Structure formats: structure tokens, C-alpha cells
Amino acid sequence: MLPGVVAWLLRRVLPADWREDIIRDVEEAYGIRSGTSPVRAWLWAWAQVPVFAVRFIGPRLRDLVTDVPVTSLDLRLAVRSARRHWGLSLLTIVAIAFGIGATTAGFGLIAGAFFSPLPFPGGDRIHEVVDYNTTRSIALWMSGEEYVRRRDVLTSFEFFGAYQSRAVVLGTERRVIARFITPEILAMTETPPLMGRLPEAADALAGAEPVVVLPYDLWQSALGGEAGVIGSRVEIAGVDRTVIAVMPPDFAFPWGYEIWIPMDPRGMTDRVQVIGKLREGVNAEAARAELAVVARPDPRQVQSPDDVIRPLVTPLNRPVTGDAQLLFLAAPLGALVLLLVVMATNVATVVLARNAARSGELAVRVAMGASRRRVIGLLVLEVGVTVIVAAAAGLVLAQTGLRLLENWITDLPFWIDLSVDLRVVAFTMALAALATAVAGLVPALRTTKGSLHDNLKDGGRGTSVVRFGRATDAIIISELGISVGFLAAAAILGQSLLSFGFARYGLPSEETLVAQVYFGQPPELADPDVFHSPEERATIWDAFFADATRQRARLLDRTLELPGVRTAAVGSRFPGDESETAFIEVENGGRGSPRRAELAAVGEGYFELLGAAPLQGRDFSAAERTGEIRVALVDQPFIDAHLGGGNAIGRRIRLASDANSGDASAQPWLEIVGVMPDLGLAVGDPARGGTVYTPIAPTNILWLGIRGDGSPWRWTPGLIEAAREVDPAIRVQGTQTLEDMMMVPVTLYRALGIGFLVLGGIALLLSAASLHAVTASAVTRRTREMGIRRALGAPSGTLVVSTVRRAAIQLGAGILLGAGIAFGLLQLAAIFPWRLGPGNPAVLAAVPLVLGLALLLALAGPLARALSIRPADALRYE
């Protein structure tokens, strides 16, 4: 079913004779799209509103407005009028400039981050290739062997390269990121080196002379830009390597400025990342179809027989997969456009008040032969000239903001260009047109409604074309409603985002070091050409996992012996790491259809490491940590989301790994034995369904956490050494403090939160200013009426009460409407992957209070003036 608001809006723009037929067809198309992706269908449905509006209303408006011959005299009149009403012009410029500036910056950010082309010949054909576990929503990497097997058989790709990244030491102390690459990686950029030659397959073979390719900057900074650098040797990670090429300035691939070391993919024991360049004429879908046939998913990463693994081929510069990311882009932009509409609405109300004050002048124009069209043209032009200034200011604001952002984020991918380009300017112009339509055209249409000839007579009596009765009430209430609604939603979103973070979980994040430990894979399976039956493979893996489990215990023991270490534990993940979820089935009911929860498999001491103790029940016993998993721990958000509150101990749940059906019937029941505090693992969970902990099963990859006294960094060498002593094949990677691990999502969300609050604050002040203007104008226009009423004996108190009562009703109705709008906006925001807090009552109360105060102040001055005027003067008042 088409979203109700979309259908309503479409009904407003479609012609009556075809209205229901078109809506029926749009509904049918929406139904078809919903079957594949509900979120995309929803976005598509909303996009239909402007598309149909442009096609059906556009020509009518164009006829109405553009037939007006705009002369230089009109332009001069418009500029003069803008100068005469300088207060209004200033308000328009400030409001629209902020609205356009914020929206343009948002668009520039999205356009730059996701639609900047790769600066290479055929750059649009360069794609990232990953195996994607659609059941668990995790992107997998590929093994070196699997990469080689695919490279040798795939025909869709002109180049199919692999790389790994590692920090290495250059010389004796400088740390640089090294990309260990296959030759195809640099070859696919079709960029010749500044000097020297690109690596070839022979450079990567065992026994070949170690070589390296340097970026321009490093050649300049570390080697002083020596001309004879080619053939010279540099020490990298203790190995002397011959420099075979220096790449041109600004060249970086695949992610940043680093050194490139050729490597045989078969020697890449760890997993590799793969980038391919499609052959000309082959699209990503065709390549994906070929990969689906060729790919053999890495068995290490298939965690359950129900896991569905699909290859994905996505443009390297546009890593947007799935609906969540799409929403993450579209929704903030939608909110910013809404902000602009709020700003323009504020301006529109003041423009309407000004137009009303000029009804006499407009009527004279009509009397002298001006058509309605011409009057509308003039009124729109007057707003248009200020909007043009505002748009230019907005563009400068956006450009400045983007520049600041670009300098602030230092490790942006090299192709991302956040400068204002033609696309951004075109977008700004579209916004300016929208602002002019809302702030100029709507009031102009409203002002000129009805017979302007009749208004000539009214104008002579000092009354208005726009009657400040119900129309003003409606305008003020709508404006209050939109402002209160938008601002309350912005405040709640902003505060929720600001509170996003791990501070409230009280984790010892600065004292804890985490590292990923990879135990390798069974040597028996290393040769892809040797066939093993599934049963054989299972036996080999079981033996390997048993070994890895013993090694894990030894590694933990060794880690605990490191000086200063007080506690260490393993887990499948720590707070801040990528989300892993499953559908939950609750025995004997639970609530409604299956919902997701976060999963974490934890080893002994995991909770102690994070400073957490059971709130109810107990941690896993030693017996429960071995053998088949039959127990689970949950946290309070899980109990609220899945068990409807109440006591969780003793209840049983099942975890379904099939994302599509949520069917867990084949899985064993797990008894809940304890309730843990919320550790923030579910912070990024779209379903906000809490967390389930299970004992960690035998695995060959996990995270190890260490906590103790002093800086956690000092344990890094000891940890690597301990792993080497247990088994040289064990790899320790991704070493970082827990604080760092949690920092990336926190920074992003906080920046968004601050953005929402700042924009909300600006919108609030502007709303207050325009509300003040329009109310003051309305009361001023009642001066004559009040004077007459006083002359007829009405006491001042009655007049004050009647005026204030009206304002109070407006305020009350506006707040009610705003609450509805805020509720609607927050329903939309609920699809975001973060939790919404209740909002700080003080901030929420500030919105109607500030607007109410503006309303009262607007009443006070004109009311006092109206009441102090003498009845005889009031009769003459115009």
C-alpha cells in the first residue's frame, strides 16, 4: 500500500480526470518494488511526488509566472523594495542562506563521498569484489588461494587484483602503511609511473629480488627526491628492497598514499581484499552472475549451514550496499531539505504580512491595468532577488563547511573531492527555486486571491486583501506546528546522537587493549586441488579447532604473565566492533514476529575484563563453556524487546541464522542463566533488540582483550611475542585500545548530533523572529478596530484578554500540531540504526517557550500602542 502521505500529496498535484488512475498505477508499481526492497520502494514512492509535480503543475506555474515580461524597471523596483523592507530582506537572507548552506553542504558531502569518480582511465569499471554473508550481514574477505582460482577462470574482468594492508617500519623508525599487492592492482589504474617500471608477476615469486614502489610524497620526504632513486635500496620491515618505481604526484590506490610491495597471492596466508576492473561492455551484474557460479565461499567464514553467501561487485568509490546505507545518505538530506522548507515557510509568513500591508498599492496597480499574473510576477521577483543573494551566501557557507570538513578528516579516500562543483551549484539553484516558490510564490498567490478591484475600495479604507482572521490563525498555527515539530524532532535526534557513545556503559576502554587473533587454517586444506569430501573436511576442521582452542588457552596464560596485566579474555567481538545479529525465537511466545538481537560469543573473564557483573543469575559455569552450547546470557534491552520485561532467568530462546524466514526450529533451545548490564554491543543494532551472549565455541579467529595497569599499548610487542611462542602461525592483527575501536562510530554520530542541534537552534531563532513579525503586524492592523471598540466603551482588560486568548489558542494548537509532526518525523527516524532517547525535557520545553515568548513580545508593543491611542485618532488610523 502506497504511503498515505505520498498518495495525499499526489492527489494534490494530479489532474482530476486522471488522478485515481495514476495513483492506482503508482500503487501497483510500488507493490512490485516493495517485493524486492521495501526501503528503496519507499524512497521511490516519495520521489514520485516531485516528479509528477514537475510534469503536471510545472507547466501551469510556468505559464502563470514566466509569461510576465520582467523589465529592468521591475528589477530595479524589486531591489528598491528589498532595500526599503531591509528587515524582511535581512531575515530572508539569513534564513534562506542557512537553509541553503546546510542543505548544499549535505548534498556536496554525499555527492563528493559517494559519487566522485576514480581519476583513472576506465575508473568507473573498477569494482570491489567481496563475498557477502547475507544471513549475518557481514562482508567476508577471500583467501589468497581462492583469489588465484577465481582470477584464472573469470572472464568478466580485465584485471582482477588482490591486496593486503599492513603497517611496516620504513628504515628504522618511520611507520607507513604497506599494500602488499598483486601486479594487477597498479596495472588496472593504467597510470604509468613517474619513473621506473610497474611490478610484474615475476617480482612476486619466491626467491625474486625484493622490490618496492614508492609514492611521490614519500620519495620527496623520506628520500629527499633523489633523481637516482630507481635501483637504490630501502629497508622496509627489516628487508632491503630495491625501488623499481616512483608513482606520479597525487597518485594513490586503492585507498591512500602508501608503499606498494608485490606479493604472490598464494603466499598471502591471511585473507585478501579483491578489486577488479570490468571488461568494457560488461556490467557489474553480469560479473556478479559469473562470480556466483565460480565462487567457492571460504569455509572458515561459513558459520552455519544456513548461511547464505553471495558475491557482491560494487564500484570502489561507491561502497553503498543494502538499504541501511542508502537511508543513511538519503534521510539526512531529506531532513535538511525539510529544514530549508521550515526556513522558507518562516519567511513566507512575514512576506504575507508585508504583502497584506501593501494591499492598497497592489490594488492601485491592478486598477492601472496590471494583470494578476503581473502582480504575482512582481511580488515573486521581490523575494527572488533576496533569495539569489541568500543562495550565493549559502553556497559560500557550504563551500567553507566542506573545506573545513576535508581538512578535519585527514584519511579520506584520495578520490573524494568535497569541493563545490557544477552538480552542487545546480542543486543550490534548485533549492533557491524551491525557497522562492515557498517564500515568494505562495504568499503572492494568496495575496492576489479574489478580486483585486474590490480590494481597491478596501485598500482605501486601510483594510487588507489578506484578512487577518482565520487565515492568520491558520498561518501562525501551521508555522508554530512545523517549527515545533521539526525542532523537537531535531532536538531528540541530536540528543540521542550526542548520547551515542560508551560513556554510559562505564567500560574501562582506555585501559583495555584489544587485538584480533587468527589461528590460520588446516594445512591439509591448503592445496585447493586436493579434493576432500564434506565429512573429511568436517573432521579436519574439528581437529584444527581443537588445536586452536588449546592454543587459545596457552596464549591467554602467556598473556596474563605479561607485566602489569591483570585480566585477559577472548570474545567473538568487543563493543565498537562490527555488528553480528540473529533472529530470536522465544519459547512459549514472546512478542509478535521474530526480531533480531546482537550476538556475542564470550570466553571466561570477558565480563570481568569489561568491569561488568551479572545483574541477576550468574555467568557461565566452566562446564557450560565446553561441549554443546545450551545456555545464554542476555541484557536488559533484550528482556524489554523480546520478553516483554519480567524475569528472564530460566526462559529459553533459539537463535535463527536464516535472515529471510527467521526460522529457528532446527536450532537448540538455550536457557537464560543470567542477566548482564548493557555493554553497548547493540548500540548500532537497527532492531534495538538487546544482546545475547553465548559461550565461545571453538574457532580460528577471535578477539583478545587485555587490561591492567599503565598504558595498554606497551603490551603489543609482548602479545605478538607470546603468540609466536605458542605457534608461529598465529597472527595478531588490528591491535588497538578499546577506546579507539569505539571511537569511529562515536565520532560520526556525535558530529551528526551536533549538526542537528545547531541547525535546530538556528531554525528556532528564525522561527521566533518571523512569528514575532507576523503577530506584531496582525495586532497592529487591529489598532483601528480596538480604538473603535474602546470608544464604544469596551474595557482595556477585555481587549487584552481577547488578544492574548487568541495568541494562547494559536500557541496551544501549534504545539499540538507540532507534537504530531514530531511524532511522524521520529517514526521515519526510527529506521535509523541508533537508539532514540526520550529527549531532554528542558530542551524540548525550550522550543514552545521561546516561540511563546516571541508571540507574547509581539503582542505587547502593538497592544500597548493600540490601547493608548485616543478613539478619535484610532478612527483616522490606517
Partner 1 sequence: MKKDTLGEFEELVMLAALRLGDDAYGLSITNEIVETAERAAVRASVYVTLRRLERRGLITTHRESAEDAPNGKPRRFVKVQPRGLELLRASRRSLQNMWSGLEDVLEAK
Query: By CB under 8 A, is residue 29 in contact with partner 1?
Result: yes
Query: By CB under 8 A, is residue 45 in contact with partner 1?
Result: no
Binding part of the chain for partner 1, among 10-18, 228-236, 552-560, 851-859 by CB under 8 A, reads 10-18
Among 55, 76, 80, 870, binds partner 1 (CB under 8 A): 55
Dist CA 557 CA 439 (whole Å)? 70
CA-CA distances (angstroms) from residue 816 to 349, 477, 488, 598? 20, 9, 12, 37
17-53 b/e (C-beta count within 10 Å ≥ 16 → b) = eeeeebbeebeeebeebbeeeeeebbbbbeebbeebb
**Closer residue to partner 1 (CB): 52 or 544:** 52
Task: Tell me the Cα Rg of the chain.
Answer: 33
CA-CA distances (angstroms) from residue 126 to 200, 330, 417? 20, 24, 18
Query: By CB under 8 A, is residue 51 in contact with partner 1?
Result: yes
Please, what is the minimum distance in Å from the beta carbon of residue 22 to partner 1?
5
Query: By CB under 8 A, is residue 823 in contact with partner 1?
Result: no
Q: Could you give the residue ranges of the DSSP H alpha helices within 172-233?
A: 183-187, 216-223
- Determine if residue 645 is left, alpha or beta; phi over 0 gives left, psi from -120 to 50 gives alpha, anything else beta: left
Dist CA 392 CA 850 (whole Å)? 30
Please, what is the minimum distance in Å from the beta carbon of residue 33 to partner 1?
12
Query: By CB under 8 A, is residue 280 in contact with partner 1?
Result: no
Please, what is the minimum distance in Å from the beta carbon of residue 90 to partner 1?
39
Query: By CB under 8 A, is residue 24 in contact with partner 1?
Result: yes
DSSP secondary structure of 561-572: TSTTEEEEEEES
Query: By CB under 8 A, is residue 25 in contact with partner 1?
Result: yes
407-433 b/e (C-beta count within 10 Å ≥ 16 → b) = eeeeebbbbebbebeeebeebbeebbe
Query: By CB under 8 A, is residue 115 in contact with partner 1?
Result: no
Binding part of the chain for partner 1, among 16-24, 121-129, 560-568, 575-583 by CB under 8 A, reads 16-24
Query: By CB under 8 A, is residue 780 in contact with partner 1?
Result: no
Please, what is the minimum distance in Å from the beta carbon of residue 32 to partner 1?
9
Query: By CB under 8 A, is residue 11 in contact with partner 1?
Result: no
Query: By CB under 8 A, is residue 56 in contact with partner 1?
Result: yes
Dist CA 677 CA 691 (whole Å)? 10
Binders of partner 1: how many residues, by CB under 8 A?
17
Among 4, 17, 152, 792, binds partner 1 (CB under 8 A): 17
Residue type, 335: A
Binding part of the chain for partner 1, among 12-20, 277-285, 582-590, 691-699 by CB under 8 A, reads 12-20
Query: By CB under 8 A, is residue 22 in contact with partner 1?
Result: yes
Please, what is the minimum distance in Å from the beta carbon of residue 1 to partner 1?
10
Contact 614, 674 (CB under 8 A): yes
**Closer residue to partner 1 (CB): 14 or 387:** 14
Please, what is the minimum distance in Å from the beta carbon of residue 27 to partner 1?
7
Query: By CB under 8 A, is residue 141 in contact with partner 1?
Result: no
Please, what is the minimum distance in Å from the beta carbon of residue 59 to partner 1?
9
Query: By CB under 8 A, is residue 54 in contact with partner 1?
Result: yes
Among 3, 5, 11, 28, binds partner 1 (CB under 8 A): 28
Q: Kindly give, in sequence order, each residue whose CB lies less than 8 Å from that of residue 658, ignoring residues fewer than 6 positions away.
A: 135, 306, 308, 583
Query: By CB under 8 A, is residue 48 in contact with partner 1?
Result: yes
718-732 b/e (C-beta count within 10 Å ≥ 16 → b) = bbbebbeebbeebbb
Please, what is the minimum distance in Å from the beta carbon of residue 18 to partner 1?
6
Contact 297, 305 (CB under 8 A): no
Using CB under 8 A as the criterion, what x/- string covers residues 605-644 for binding partner 1? ----------------------------------------
Contact 730, 592 (CB under 8 A): no
**Closer residue to partner 1 (CB): 21 or 190:** 21
Helix (H) or strand (E) holding 548: helix 534-560
Q: How many CB atoms lie within 10 A of CB 115?
A: 13
Strands (E), 367-524: 512-518
Dist CA 222 CA 226 (whole Å)? 10
Among 18, 669, 713, 823, binds partner 1 (CB under 8 A): 18
Query: By CB under 8 A, is residue 27 in contact with partner 1?
Result: yes
**Closer residue to partner 1 (CB): 283 or 400:** 283
Contact 655, 304 (CB under 8 A): no
Chain residues in the site for partner 1 (CB under 8 A)? 15, 17-18, 21-22, 24-29, 48, 51-52, 54-56
